Amino acid sequence: MIDLYRLVGPWLRRLDPETAHNLTVAALERGLVPPVARLDEPMLRQRLWGLDFPNPIGLAAGFDKDARAYRAVLRLGFGFTEIGTVTPLPQAGNPRPRLFRLMEDEAVINRMGFNNSGLEAAARRLEGRDRMAGVVGANVGKNKDQQDATADYVAGVRRLAPLSDYLVINVSSPNTPGLRQLQMREPLMALIDAAKTARDGLVLQPVPPLLLKVAPDLTPDERADVAEVALAAGIDGLVVGNTTLSRPDRLTGPQRTEAGGLSGRPLLPLANIVLADVYRLTRGRLPIVGVGGIASGADAYAKIRAGASLVQLYTALIFQGPGLVLSIARDLVARLKADGFASIQGAVGADHGNI
C-alpha cells in the first residue's frame, strides 16, 4: 500500500484537490485500495464509552462525508473513523473552487460548506454494518438555510444514533454562516439538552456517547464557557478542534489568502494550546479527541500528553499517504516505552501533572 501511494500520490496531487479527493473516496468504496496491517499492540488499546479502540488514531470527519468508504478506511490501520458532517437534507455546499492545497506548508484551506448527500443516504450505507469490524462515529450538522439549528441536530441524532458507535455535534465549522455562534453558553446548553433528549428517547442499547466538536479559534473566555457547559450538560466527550480562520505568519503557499478553514501542519501549535486548556478546564473529567495538525507520531503523542485520549488526522494523509497511520502507531509505542508508560491511558494529560 505504501509503495502504491508513492506511485499514485504524486499523480493525485497534480489534479484539482476536490477531484483527487473524490477519486480517492471512490477507489476506497470500490475496494481498489489494498488494506494495511494494523499494529496489534496492547499498549495502544483502550476502552472508552464502552467502546474498544485498538489504537487511538482515527480518521477525522470531512473525508468520508457520506459514509461511502468507512469499511475500507478501517482496513488502513485506523483505530476508528468518523463519517460526515451529515446534514438532514442534501446540499451542494459552497461554489467551486473551494479546496486548496498549500504544498509548501503541508496544509489545506477549505470552504466546502457541509456538502453532502443528506441523512438518508448516509443512513442507508450504515445500516447492517458489521460493528465488530471497527468503531464508526457519525458527525452531524445543520443545513445552511435552516433557521432552527436545533431541529437539524435533533434530526441527525435521531436518524444516526441507532447506526453509529458515537455521535458528534459539530458546531465548529467556519464555512456555515452563524454555526460557530452555537458555541456560546446559552445556545450551546439548549442544543446539548435537545440532542441528549433526542438520543435518550430512542431507548438504545448500547447508548452511543454524544460528543461536542468545538473550534480552535475560541478565546480563553469562550473555552471556559464551553468547558463549564460541557460538564454541566453531561456531554460524553469533546472533539478539539476543527480548522482555523487564523493564518500563521509562516505560511508560504501562494493560496494562503483564500477564504476558509486552514488545516494541516501549521494548525498544530494553536490546536494544542486549545486542547491543553480545555483539558485543564474540564479537569480531565471528559475524554477528548484531539484534532488539528497531526503529521507524525511526535505530533500525536504531544496531543495525548496534552489531554487527548484519542486523536484524529486527515490533511497529513494528502501529503504522506495512508502509510502514515502505521508509522504513527509504531512511534507512539516507542515513545510510551521510552517515557515508562504501560499504556496510552497513562500518558493522557501527563503534561498537566495532577490537575
Contact 140, 153 (CB under 8 A): yes
Residue 1's pLDDT is 45
Residue 170's pLDDT is 97
Query: What are the tens digits of pLDDT across the range 236-246?
Result: 999 999 999 99
**Domains (range + CATH), the chain:** 2-352 (3.20.20.70)
Residue 354's pLDDT is 75
Residue 273's pLDDT is 98
Q: CB-based burial of residue 51 (10 Å sphere; 0-12 exposed, 13-18 middle, 19+ buried)?
A: middle
Residue 3's pLDDT is 62
Q: What does DSSP say about strands 237-240 and 210-214: parallel, antiparallel, or unpaired?
A: parallel
Q: Which one of the listed residues 117, 172, 173, 263 is annotated catalytic? A: 173
Q: What does DSSP say about strands 237-240 and 261-264: parallel, antiparallel, or unpaired?
A: unpaired
The question of whether 173 is a catalytic residue gets the answer: yes
Query: What are the tens digits of pLDDT across the range 128-153?
Result: 999 999 999 999 999 999 999 999 99
Instruction: Let me know how long the chain is.
Output: 355
Residue 41's pLDDT is 97
Q: Cis ω on the peptide bond leading into residue 34 (within 30° of 0)?
A: no
Low-confidence ranges of the chain (pLDDT < 50): 1-2
What would the grid cell of residue 102 be? 498549500
The alpha helices in the chain, defined as continuous H runs, are: 2-12, 17-29, 70-74, 119-126, 149-160, 185-200, 220-233, 268-281, 297-306, 315-320, 323-338, 344-347
